[in-house]
């Protein structure tokens, strides 16, 4: 090793990335992580797509790396900006604040069960405020301050679990907010499947001129889990009973069937990922969602 020189270098993962904390008085801050194509030497007169991620701390680097690998063999493709909306965290990629930010407001609330099988009430119902923060604070900041010379073409939003629930809530209540809605393992079970009442109102509402695209995805082991190596039988049985009650596959399939014939959509797709559970499916659903977002054929251009 004496013949080698070791010099500090800029970490490769920080190229063409930036982060901001956004806050206002008497409110907890958010963290916004942004990445843009490595090939951008100048931003003037550029055209780009944008994908917004909730639970941004857990998804930002994965989304950025997926897009950069794709860009390496599709250099002529329109670049995509990643905007991850998360929290100033140091010891986790998930914040307890998500239980408020990602769940819809509602009059009646049935709390989910905790690990001990007993109801575990959490604060909830902040999805409208969080969506307003994204559309009226984050999006203008990105388009007017960070990339003022960029013309944005298409936009998508991705969320998993409670994040997938938030994506559906956004679609059903403010469908013109984004072009493409990527709902991975959405927590349709939450609060006695409250989101289905929003879906029903959406189906009966007037169509909008820019019809949205929806992609539902989930893992095959979410509703039908398998026993993990070394897992106690009692714990597996409890986990299995929770999965069966939450009906991830059935809920997604039923919602897909209900929405499939709705003329308010441009396209609807459903995808099951084999041998993936609620945690492992995140990577597959994110990568597949990004490909789906960018691979829209000419027939379905926005």
Residue 9 in domain:
no
Q: What is the pLDDT of residues 20-69, one digit of tens each?
A: 999 988 889 999 999 999 978 666 668 999 999 999 999 999 999 999 99
Residue 15 in domain:
no
Highest mean predicted confidence (pLDDT) among 71-75, 133-137, 205-209: 133-137
How many C-beta atoms surround the C-beta of residue 62 within 10 A? 17
Q: What percent of the chain has pLDDT over 70?
A: 94
Lowest average pLDDT, out of 115-119, 144-148, 210-214, goes to 115-119
Domain containing 286: what range? 27-296
Lowest average pLDDT, out of 28-32, 261-265, 289-293, goes to 261-265
* CATH code of 145's domain: 3.40.50.1820
Q: Per-residue pLDDT for 297 more than 50?
A: no
Q: What is the pLDDT of residue 116?
A: 72
Domain count for the chain: 1
Nearest to 83 by CA among 128, 45, 36: 36
d(CA 186, CA 217): 8
Residue 190 in domain:
yes
d(CA 53, CA 138): 12
Q: What is the pLDDT of residue 298?
A: 40
Mean of pLDDT values over 157-175? 98
Residue 81 in domain:
yes
d(CA 19, CA 13): 13
Question: What pTM value is reported for the model?
Answer: 0.93
Residue 20 in domain:
no
Q: What is the pLDDT of residue 27?
A: 86
d(CA 14, CA 298): 34
Residue 22 in domain:
no
Burial of 85 (0-12, 13-18, 19+ CB in 10 A): buried
Mean of pLDDT values over 215-232? 97
Q: Per-residue pLDDT for 206 more than 90?
A: no
Q: Per-residue pLDDT for 192 more than 60?
A: yes
Residue 184 in domain:
yes
When computed from its CA atoms, the radius of gyration of the chain, rounded to whole angstroms, is: 20
Model confidence band, residue 7 (pLDDT cutoffs 50, 70, 90): confident
d(CA 59, CA 273): 18
Residue 156 in domain:
yes
Model confidence band, residue 12 (pLDDT cutoffs 50, 70, 90): low
Q: What is the pLDDT of residues 70-99, one digit of tens each?
A: 988 888 888 999 999 999 998 999 999 999
Beta pairing partners, 22:
30
């Amino acid at each position: 090793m004496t013949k080698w020189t070791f010099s500090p270098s800029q970490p490769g993962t920080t190229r063409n990335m930036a982060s901001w904390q956004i806050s206002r008085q008497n409110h907890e801050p958010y963290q916004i992580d942004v990445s843009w194509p490595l090939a951008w030497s100048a931003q003037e007169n550029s055209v780009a797509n944008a994908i917004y991620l909730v639970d941004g701390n857990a998804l930002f680097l994965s989304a950025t790396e997926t897009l950069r690998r794709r860009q390496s063999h599709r250099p002529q493709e329109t670049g995509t900006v990643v905007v991850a909306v998360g929290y100033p965290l140091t010891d986790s990629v998930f914040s307890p604040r998500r239980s408020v930010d990602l769940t819809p407001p509602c009059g009646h609330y049935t709390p989910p069960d905790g690990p001990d099988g007993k109801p575990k009430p959490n604060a909830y119902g902040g999805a409208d405020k969080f969506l307003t923060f994204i559309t009226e604070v984050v999006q203008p900041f990105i388009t007017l301050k960070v990339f003022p010379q960029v013309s944005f073409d298409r936009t998508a939003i991705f969320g998993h679990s409670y994040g997938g629930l938030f994506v559906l809530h956004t679609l059903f209540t403010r469908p013109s907010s984004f072009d493409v809605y990527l709902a991975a393992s959405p927590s349709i079970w939450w609060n006695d499947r409250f989101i289905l009442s929003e879906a029903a109102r959406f189906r009966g509402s007037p169509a909008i001129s820019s019809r949205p695209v929806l992609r539902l995805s989930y893992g095959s082991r979410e509703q039908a889990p398998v026993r993990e190596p070394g897992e106690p039988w009692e714990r597996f049985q409890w986990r299995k009973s929770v999965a069966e009650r939450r009906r991830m596959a059935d809920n997604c399939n039923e919602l897909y069937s209900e929405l499939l014939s709705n003329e308010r959509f441009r396209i609807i797709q459903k995808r099951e990922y084999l041998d993936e559970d609620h945690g492992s499916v995140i990577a597959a659903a994110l990568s597949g969602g990004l490909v789906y977002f960018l691979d829209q054929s000419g027939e379905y251009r926005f």
